[in-house]
Amino acid sequence: MHPSLQDIRLVAFDLDGTLIDSVPDLAAAVDAMLVGQRLAPVGEAKVRDWVGNGSHKLVERALACVLGEAPDTARVTASHDGFLRAYHAAPCERTRAYPGVSEALGSLEARGIIVTLVTNKPAAFIDPILEALGLRRYFRMTLGGDSLAEKKPHPAPLLHLAAQFGVAPAQCLMVGDSRHDVEAGKRAGFRTLAVPYGYNHGEPVVSSRPDGVVESLGELV
Ligand SMILES: O=C(O)COP(=O)(O)O
Ligand SMILES: [Mg+2]
């Protein structure tokens, strides 16, 4: 067993960049929204560095890039609606689970560890994507960026999960790809484990000093 799992009773997984490579579909929806406004598409590489603070921030960053200035609130709101429509139409066309994910989730579940999910992505997208990839059944509870008043890096969603299952935060592990996951985990009193292959605004996630790093979730078990 990976040393990070000792005494762990609950694991909270991040979604985008940790369990799934979702940027192809996110970028397609961002570009559809931009092209719908006769703006230039931005492509996957840019979107990869903008994921992590939820879909509203993603849209705001895309507009700021193509407009060359901060967009006003009304424009962000209308564009966000456009993004949501496009992403709803195709949330899992080219999105794939990373290697070892299904095995790791199954093995944790088999050990009796409570498997949960906490993403900053809007909650409405969680089930369609997990179901399309055959991963939904592993999760006892999932939270999206709009499920509670606060999202990561705020510790509230993590503490909510721990409380729901009556597990002390010290016996919980946050597994994620970004500084928001590590910060939320630390603030919640969870142990933290990072994967280096995901999305972290172009910076190495080790800079956030997680308790551990695994190259692949297959190493977890
Ligand atoms: O939607 C986002 O910005 C990121 O989602 P995540 O929290 O699953 O990485
Ligand atoms: Mg992530």
Spatial distance between the Cα atoms of 217 and 18, rounded to a whole number of angstroms: 9
Residue showing tokens 């060359």: 68
Q: Which ligand is nearest to the Cα of residue 145, counting in written order?
A: 1
Contact call for residues 161 and 172 (beta carbons, < 8 A): yes
Please report how many Cα atoms fall inside a 13 Å half-sphere around the Cα of residue 33, on the Cβ side: 32
Residue showing tokens 């509230």: 156
Q: Is 127 a catalytic residue?
A: no
Contact call for residues 58 and 122 (beta carbons, < 8 A): no
Give CA angle at 120 (51, 200), nearest 5°.
35
181 lines ligand 1 (CB under 6 A): no
Q: Give the domains, in start order, of the chain with CATH numbers.
A: 3-21+96-220 (3.40.50.1000), 23-89 (1.10.150.240)
Helical pair 156-164 and 179-188, crossing angle rounded to 10 deg: 50
The minimum-distance atom of ligand 1 relative to the CA of 199 is 9
Spatial distance between the Cα atoms of 13 and 11, rounded to a whole number of angstroms: 6
Residue 160: the pLDDT is 98
The rounded average pLDDT for each run of 10 residues, N- to C-terminus, in the chain (221 residues) is: 80 98 98 98 98 98 98 97 98 98 97 97 98 98 98 98 98 98 98 98 97 95 81
Residue 6: the pLDDT is 87
Q: Tokens for 209?
A: 């000093």
52 lines ligand 1 (CB under 6 A): yes
Mutation test residue for ligand 1: of 13, 15, 129, 143, the one with most atoms within 8 Å of CB: 15
* Contacts (Cβ under 8 Å, ≥6 apart) of 204: 196
Mutation test residue for ligand 1: of 20, 51, 101, 199, the one with most atoms within 8 Å of CB: 51
Tell whether ipTM is more than 0.90: yes
The minimum-distance atom of ligand 1 relative to the CA of 58 is 3
Residue 16: the pLDDT is 98
33 Rama class: left (phi>0) / alpha (psi -120 to 50) / beta: alpha
Residue 156: the pLDDT is 98
129 lines ligand 1 (CB under 6 A): no
* Contacts (Cβ under 8 Å, ≥6 apart) of 166: none
Residue 3: the pLDDT is 58
Residue 2: the pLDDT is 63
Residue 5: the pLDDT is 87
SS3 191: strand
Continuous H helices in the chain: 23-36, 44-50, 55-67, 73-89, 101-110, 126-132, 156-164, 179-188
The minimum-distance atom of ligand 1 relative to the CA of 54 is 3
173 lines ligand 1 (CB under 6 A): no
Ligand 2 (ion): which residues have CB within 5 A?
14, 16-17, 177-178
